[in-house]
Amino acid sequence: MLSVLANHTYRHLFAAQVIALVGTGLLTVALGLLAYRLAGAKAGAVLGTALAVKMVAYVLVAPVAQAFVTRLPRRAFLVVTDLVRAGVALVLPFVDQVWQVYVLIAVLQSASAAFTPTFQATIPDILPDECDYTRALSLSRLAYDMENLLSPMLAAALLTVLDFHVLFTGTVVGFLSSAVLVVTTTLPTPEASARQAGIYDRITRGLRIYLATPRLRGLLALNLAVAAAGAMVIVNTVVIVQAILHRPQDDVAVALGLFGGGSMVAALLLPRVLDRLADRAVMIPSAALLGLVLLGFAASSWSQGIGWVTLLGMWIVLGIGYSAAQTPTGRLLRRSASPDDRPALFAAQFALSHAAWLVTYPLAGWLGAKVGMPATLTALGAVTLAATAAAALLWPSDEPDTVEHVHPELDESHPHLAMARGHRHAHAYVIDDLHHQWPSGRPG
């Protein structure tokens, strides 16, 4: 897996990602403490609203930002968004009103919504070999899981000797370091498109490609499955551990740590698994596993109550399924668009996946508070399995590498038909200016 770090450009970008993630982790802890300073016992409401602002920014800003990114140098754009995030983190310690927190979080997360899809769409251009790209995806998953484990520990260590404001300084350093590492790279620039598209076309292009591609319609359903299971863990672990099991705060970290550990195990194993199995054969069974684990835990909870050891075992398995169901996503996006359309498609995935979280976060919280954990596990398990079943129906199992199709609208002298005998030909099929919809009866 580490062999991809031999690529100088990718090594610098991966280091930038890791450092920025550490800074983001410190920001999460610092923001909670800042909310408590400003709102006291109402800090939870402040953080909940900030989380909603984050998700809305992700859903709305990513496609709009990508409509303009195609006309800007990638490296400069990534650096500017890092600098914006650093600037917000620098200002946050000085706010004294809750509304100021919301405004600054909206700016910071809007910058993240512009940065992340652009960053993700750049990696396939740097690592054109699919095996290398698969390993890069697993490394990225590991980076996220390590951030979830290590950033709170680092924050706790700093808070033993320093005021929480220093955590914002760590965040600023993280984003500035990320900007410096991006500056030291030379990023490939996709060939400029000849089309003169309007702003509406550029904003909606990624979404239109996404919804017109059968395998990506399946991915849309998988986004909901992963979000439903993930929301159960993220939202309700603290409730189960402390309110139901009456265990100490440290055990919340233990449970979440085991979930992250399961995710890391899957990320380590996935490169070899994906060398042998197709993406669909990994992602759909993994999503089904998430639903089955939730329903199995629900059945155990109904009959015997929730047990600590059972919770830990279930959370490990959920972590494995969670990582395996979503890590190959980049591979699907990569082969579902031409290079110049990848940023728009990655932005569409970024927005749509976070729209699923925007639904499942409050659903998990509301159900947990109103109907109890066994019923919540049952409901979210049912949502996960229903979404997985939809994915299996929408994503054909017999997708070929190439799709035979015809172009009756093109003249035989058209460059696209240069290597074809007549109007019928076959190639790796993606939705673009010459291919507006999937051939009828053909899988995607």
Please check whether residue 210 is in contact with residue 49, taking contact to mean a CB–CB distance below 8 angstroms: no
Please check whether residue 215 is in contact with residue 395, taking contact to mean a CB–CB distance below 8 angstroms: yes
Backbone angles phi, psi at 63, to 5 degrees: -65, -40
10 Å Cβ neighbour count for 435? Answer: 18
Q: Which amino acid is at 96?
A: D
pLDDT attached to residue 39: 78
Q: How far apart are CA 30 and CA 9, in angstroms?
A: 32
Closest CA to 392 of 245, 285, 304: 285
Map out the domains of the chain as residue ranges.
Answer: 1-186, 199-396+415-444
Q: Is domain 199-396+415-444 in CATH 1.20.1250.20, yes or no?
A: yes
The alpha carbon of 306 is separated from its chain's Cα centroid by a whole number of angstroms, namely 30
Closest CA to 377 of 444, 317, 293, 268: 293
pTM of the model: 0.83
Please check whether residue 342 is in contact with residue 120, taking contact to mean a CB–CB distance below 8 angstroms: no
Please check whether residue 49 is in contact with residue 101, taking contact to mean a CB–CB distance below 8 angstroms: no
pLDDT above 70 for 219? yes
CATH of domain 1-186: 1.20.1250.20
When mean pLDDT is compared across 40-54, 247-261, 411-425, the lowest value belongs to 411-425
Q: How far apart are CA 216 and CA 337, in angstroms?
A: 11
Query: Residue 244's pLDDT band (boundaries 50, 70, 90)?
Result: confident
pLDDT above 80 for 171? yes
Q: In the chain, count H helices and then E strands.
A: 14, 2
Segment 89-99, tens digit of pLDDT = 999 989 888 88
| 406: enclosing H helix or E strand | strand 403-406
Same fold, 1-186 and 199-396+415-444: yes
